[in-house]
Amino acid sequence: MKYTTLPNTDIKVSKICLGTMTFGQQNTEADGHAQMDYALEKGVNFFDTAEMYSVPANEATYGSTEKIIGTWFKKSGNREKIVLASKIAGPNANFGYMREKLDFSPTSIKYAVENSLKRLQTDYIDLYQMHWPERKTNCFGQRAFTGFEDSWQDNFREVLETFDGLIKEGKIKHIGVSNENSWGMMRFLEESKYQNLPRIKTVQNPYNLLNRLFEVNSAEVSKYENVGLLAYSPLAFGTLTGKFLTGDEHPNARINLFPQYTRYASEQCTEATKLYQEIAHKHGLTLTQLAMGFVLQQPFLTSAIIGATTLEQLKENIDTIDVVLSKEILAEINKVQAVIPDPAP
């Protein structure tokens, strides 16, 4: 395994992070425990979860992923070996079962943290993230700006003050954002700088060969402000393994089980995937190796979050840590990007 550090900390994390959002629906508790055992054995010390998981979110499975991680901690005694990240859900009309109000008010943040700690059976969370912005903005596959939300009030300072209190209590250690854009990142950084409040350490956004939108301006913030990218969906919901190019049905694949997830299902995504697979095979690589290798080599990356429903998939994903793409391969990748730029928003 290869390691880096969470920016502006001395916490060592693996460059591959175990994503757990399938625990509780596609994966049983036993499956989840087996994945965590295997990942730790292979040097993965960074796990990511969220209060809303498993996904797709629903009341029946709310918090199931954190509970499965919690029972693994209790059974294995491995809590101190893991850098644990979780998230608070933001506003969503469909998630009212989570708590009385889905916002980032002090009451909501404290409530969410306390309940995550109980489910996780731990006293602290190493990295606590806001799952998506509280304000209305373009995220989760929205390419175009959808308009301002006049009802939202700037509360960046209050949010950081709340986190400051929780850090002083020892319930969380560091904070990050997720599905955030450059303006939101800079506002949090501005408040922390001038008000002497906790600084965001990471941003968890989608990043893969079919979605390189992070490079447009957020990568610059990441580089110069030292906010590390936690890249989720590096294999684009399995699209970048090439399995959907075989003609097989794959009934248990995520995008077949949950057809509402259409981010990587367009004709442009399929065409780009074919071209990337040609590059991979030309250079003696699998498409998975090409896709993961590309993400892992980015200078703004802290860790790539992988998810799997089988141990075989998990092994293949973890083994890509040793892949190094040549300048020639990277140039060929960029030629495809120039012809079919970011087909998945």
* Residues 129 and 177: beta-carbon distance below 8 Å: yes
Annotated catalytic sites, by residue? 53
Query: Are the C-beta atoms of 210 and 272 separated by less than 8 Å?
Result: yes
The pairing of strands 228-232 and 172-178 is: unpaired
Q: Which residues contact 167 (CB under 8 A, 6 or more apart)?
A: 173, 174, 175, 198
